[in-house]
Structure 1
Amino acid sequence: MATLKAPLTAILLHYKGFHHLPPNISSTNKHSTGFPSLHLKRSPKIRASSSTKEQENFRPLADFPQDIWGDHFISLSLSDSKFKSDSEQTEVLKEEVKQMLMSCSDSVDKIKSTLKSNWIKFSMDTLISLRKMTTIYVLLQMHSGHLDNMVTRCLLVFKNKDGRFKESLLGDTEAILSLYEAAHLRMHGEPTLDEALAFTKTHLESLVANSNTQHHNYRHIRNSLKQPFHFGMPRLEARKYVDVYESQGGGIDTLLKFAKTDYDRVQFMHQEELREISKWWKETNIPSKLTYIRNRIVEIYFWTVAISFEPHHARARIWHSKQLMLLSVIDDTYDAYGTPEEHQLFTKAIERWNYIALDELPEEMKPVYKALLDVVCEYEKVVVAEGRYFSVMYTKEAEYNTSSHVTTGVTVMLAATYMGMGEVAGAKEFEWLFSVPRICRATMILARIMDDIASHEFEQRRPHIPSIVECYMKENGVSQEEATRALLEMVTEGWKDINEEMMRPNPVPFTIILRVVNIARLGDVLYRDVDRYTNSVLLKDYITVLFIDPITR
């Protein structure tokens, strides 16, 4: 057992383990989740060679798509005066919106109290609209916790004697859409919401297929079917909804103006950060020296905004972006360039964690190793100055149990994010994280499955370890289509785990939990149907909306 000073080195030890499981070892489900156990047997396709020439022949080069942004964000011209104007206007509008909300008679607490004391009367009152019901359900589930299925039972009023949802509901498209979105917050043991999701999805898909594209809800429905709100990136979903809210008409002008002004204000802050990150990345010379990597600094920053978009988490985004970009380079070095001998050298260098180890590395590995030490040492100084320097107990066995269960970078991303969040993430929060709680285990499996489904065909074109898709096919004797369907069902069950953990009391602040949920959401955004990180042109529209185009006012 060793004592690590702060979680900084632990991040790298966890990450290093993702690529170095002993061959042909069947991983077992050491931690209970709602998922079936996965037994992944790694069969290395790359063997150590005895000469430099042979090593070069064994390089599993991937030919990744090139960077599409160049120096675009480095050369951004930003207007400080506009930011100042937006900030001042935002504060004025915020007060107006606050007064509007304070004047509302039905607060979330009051609605919750009413439901708890009168749920039978509430469920039998046929005058209560489905639209209101689902709105209340979403509010309560997201802001107060488990309702013991009260709202689910309330939905029974909208079923007929045969136990099916009434066809008369189909006349209210907005209500159906609300129920569809609310159903994605379902947990285990809520069959009514399972049925509601199937019922609403079928109707909405039919509506989109047969409706005129000019229908006022067409774009909203299409977006929801493609990316349900709960599975989406919060910042991106907010941007989409501003357009929907405005197009529907009849909204509150003050609220709309506040949303637009605040969006542009935060976008300016993100642009400044992205410019800083892009300059740092270019100055490392890594993208010019290591041409085999996925040069994705803009997309990496997109990741960090997905996890923590709030203005006060600027440091978390910057720290996380630098670390995650370097870890992406390491990932590509292990998976798409390095030889087994080079892997061993780099792993030993990480374990030594000393600039002296640079002399023992191949030339192409030196820039990333040095940048990694520079970044972590820089942040370590800040953490020490803030008095947040603490020890985390670490054992090799614990690392192996975690990494052999499922190979993702979820723990790495969370640790990097928490480091930049200030006092809210202390020793207790890092101990919670490294205990691999249920919500993290579920998110790990979601991320692994979504990533592998989207990328396994591309990865298997070169020497590469089997993906989860291949493992499932071989172990169960099924086709790729059947394996994909079964794995996506595991994703569905995983979201139920996440929803349950998000709603129940936890030993850490909710803002810590929310970062885990946002990583699960990020996995859905990046890997639904296709690998948008590797094929970065598929993220171009999202990045343009978030970091280039302001909302026209």
Structure 2
Amino acid sequence: MALQAFQNYIQVMELVDTPSLKAFEDVVVDRQVAGFDLSFCGDYFITNQKSQSEAWMNERAEELKNEVRSMFQNVSTDVLQTMNLIDTIQLLGLDYHFTEEIDRALDHLKDIRERVVECYCWSMVIRHEPSCSRARLISTKLLMLITVLDDIYDSYSTLEESLLLTDAIQRHIWKILTQHYITECKWRDDNYVPKLEEHMRVSIKSVGYVWFYCSFLTGMEEAVATKDAFEWFASFPKIVEACAIIVRITNDITSKEREQKREHVASTVDCYMKEYGTSKDVACEKLLGFVEDAWKTINEELLNATGLSREVIKLSLHSSRSTELIYKHVDAFTEPNTTMKENIFSLLVHPIPI
């Protein structure tokens, strides 16, 4: 009985709450007409029958996937073509079909250092302020690109492959950098150990300092990243040269033992040892004297007026300081499981105790 009473109540309420249609019969509504176009598909997908069976489509999909797998085999010995293939597959959103092939291809690229986090950490040490976030992102990408290029020329490619890569690089600024790489490749293949001065003319440019810091400058505010600032960096002034000397020599000293294990272009340590007939320890000590002289140059140049924003000059100072973090005792950039790992966790993972 209770249920029947409740149902009757609902029906009554519906009648009460529902307006009479007669109330709207005499109402004239001036409606806006949007005039939307009809669907170009029409009823095609409703009336059209499948032109091919599902089994045929699955078979065709497998054929196409096998064609792509064969592409991995065809480019397996070419780093650039392999990376272009992977990049294209990912851009098309098809990488989930080829996870095993991509993983195997990337495993073959062990001669290239994967140092994205380390690159960001390096940029963060140079300028940590929130306002420099964009500059850090841009410079991180550029530093990683320089690292890949350096490893291809230095470790992976033959001289002939390096020449082909250089020809393929069209941007003028990159042509300048890769020409220095080519010079070092020729020295390596000819077992040529140049005089220290000749070596430094090339190697302080091939270290990529100017390119890295121009990219950093690109991400800074317009008042800092002026045309004059870029031209100043590109002119390789004394303070920039001094910073490049510090990076080059400290890098060579800390990576000397590791690079002796494979064929490698002569370092500044090798050049000094041959030119002056000294031991490795003596050569390193003398070269560190050049580092001290470079620091003196930096300090002197910091006192000279350039007409540029102090932020531009400070980039050189901070970059030289960051070298102490990267190359103080070991090549922490190449061997990240050393001090670099500790620094990354301190800066990016573990909270600062208060």
What's the TM-score, normalizing by structure 2?
0.60
Q: Deviations over 1:18-42 (max 9, x none)?
A: xxxxxxxxxxxxxxxxxxxxxxxxx
**Which has the larger Rg?**
2
Equivalent residue number for residue 327 of structure 1: 146
1:541: how far off? 1.1
**Distance across 1 between alignment mates of 2:200 and 2:306:** 23
Q: Deviations over 1:448-502 (max 9, x none)?
A: 1100000022112211110000100100111111111111111111111111111
Task: Pick the aligned partner of 1:419 from 196, 203, 218.
Answer: 218
Task: Pick the aligned partner of 2:161 from 321, 324, 342.
Answer: 342
* CA distance 1:532–1:437, change in 2 (3 Å): same
Equivalent residue number for residue 434 of structure 1: 234
Equivalent residue number for residue 291 of structure 1: 110
**Distance across 2 between alignment mates of 1:407 and 1:315:** 25
**Distance across 2 between alignment mates of 1:306 and 1:350:** 30
* CA distance 1:352–1:436, change in 2 (3 Å): closer
**Distance across 2 between alignment mates of 1:338 and 1:487:** 29
- Contact 1:406 1:445 (C-alpha < 8 Å) held by counterparts: no
| Aligned pairs (5 A) from 1:341-360 | 341-351=160-170
**Distance across 2 between alignment mates of 1:352 and 1:303:** 25
1:413: how far off? 1.1
* CA distance 1:338–1:448, change in 2 (3 Å): same
Equivalent residue number for residue 549 of structure 1: 350
Which residue identity lines up with residue 341 of structure 1 in the other structure? E
**Distance across 2 between alignment mates of 1:326 and 1:456:** 23
Equivalent residue number for residue 511 of structure 1: 311
**Distance across 1 between alignment mates of 2:291 and 2:312:** 22
1:506: how far off? 2.0
**Distance across 2 between alignment mates of 1:546 and 1:290:** 29
Task: Pick the aligned partner of 1:300 from 95, 108, 119.
Answer: 119
**Distance across 2 between alignment mates of 1:450 and 1:404:** 12
**Distance across 2 between alignment mates of 1:497 and 1:514:** 14
| Aligned pairs (5 A) from 1:75-224 | none
Equivalent residue number for residue 450 of structure 1: 250
- Contact 1:442 1:494 (C-alpha < 8 Å) held by counterparts: yes
Instruction: Establish whether residue 498 from structure 1 lines up as the match of residue 298 from structure 2.
Output: yes
* CA distance 1:461–1:410, change in 2 (3 Å): same
Task: Pick the aligned partner of 1:410 from 209, 217, 224.
Answer: 209
**Distance across 2 between alignment mates of 1:491 and 1:405:** 13
- Contact 1:449 1:491 (C-alpha < 8 Å) held by counterparts: yes
Which residue identity lines up with residue 164 of structure 2 in the other structure? L
Task: Pick the aligned partner of 1:526 from 319, 326, 329.
Answer: 326
**Pairwise CA RMSD of aligned residues?**
2.5
- Contact 2:204 2:244 (C-alpha < 8 Å) held by counterparts: no
Equivalent residue number for residue 252 of structure 1: none
- Contact 1:316 1:419 (C-alpha < 8 Å) held by counterparts: yes
| Paired residue total | 226
* Corresponding residue SS for 1:517: helix
| Aligned pairs (5 A) from 1:306-325 | 306-325=125-144
Which residue identity lines up with residue 441 of structure 1 in the other structure? E
Q: Deviations over 1:87-111 (max 9, x none)?
A: xxxxxxxxxxxxxxxxxxxxxxxxx
- Contact 1:300 1:321 (C-alpha < 8 Å) held by counterparts: yes
Instruction: Establish whether residue 537 from structure 1 lines up as the match of residue 337 from structure 2.
Output: yes
* CA distance 1:480–1:401, change in 2 (3 Å): closer
- Contact 2:146 2:208 (C-alpha < 8 Å) held by counterparts: no
- Contact 1:406 1:448 (C-alpha < 8 Å) held by counterparts: no
| Aligned pairs (5 A) from 1:39-78 | none
**Distance across 2 between alignment mates of 1:300 and 1:470:** 27
* Corresponding residue SS for 2:206: coil
Which residue identity lines up with residue 414 of structure 1 in the other structure? Y
Q: Deviations over 1:48-87 (max 9, x none)?
A: xxxxxxxx9xx9xxxxxxxxxxxxxxxxxxxxxxxxxxxx
Equivalent residue number for residue 265 of structure 2: 465
- Contact 1:469 1:480 (C-alpha < 8 Å) held by counterparts: yes
**Distance across 2 between alignment mates of 1:496 and 1:292:** 37
Which residue identity lines up with residue 325 of structure 1 in the other structure? M
**Distance across 2 between alignment mates of 1:311 and 1:323:** 19
Q: Deviations over 1:181-234 (max 9, x none)?
A: xxxxxxxxxxxxxxxxxxxxxxxxxxxxxxxxxxxxxxxxxxxxxxxxxxxxxx
**Distance across 1 between alignment mates of 2:263 and 2:108:** 23
Identity of aligned residues (%): 38
* Corresponding residue SS for 1:537: coil
**Distance across 1 between alignment mates of 2:203 and 2:260:** 21
1:529: how far off? 2.0
**Distance across 1 between alignment mates of 2:279 and 2:307:** 43
* Corresponding residue SS for 1:329: helix
1:341: how far off? 1.5
What's the TM-score, normalizing by structure 1?
0.39
Q: For structure 1, which runs of at least 5 residues remain unmatched after alignment? A: 1-55, 60-283, 354-399
1:435: how far off? 1.1
Point out 4+ residue stretches in structure 1 off by more than 6 angstroms: none
Which residue identity lines up with residue 168 of structure 2 in the other structure? A
- Contact 2:218 2:225 (C-alpha < 8 Å) held by counterparts: yes
1:401: how far off? 10
- Contact 1:307 1:519 (C-alpha < 8 Å) held by counterparts: yes
* Corresponding residue SS for 1:422: coil
Task: Pick the aligned partner of 1:484 from 273, 284, 291.
Answer: 284
- Contact 1:287 1:295 (C-alpha < 8 Å) held by counterparts: no
1:420: how far off? 0.8
**Distance across 2 between alignment mates of 1:287 and 1:514:** 38
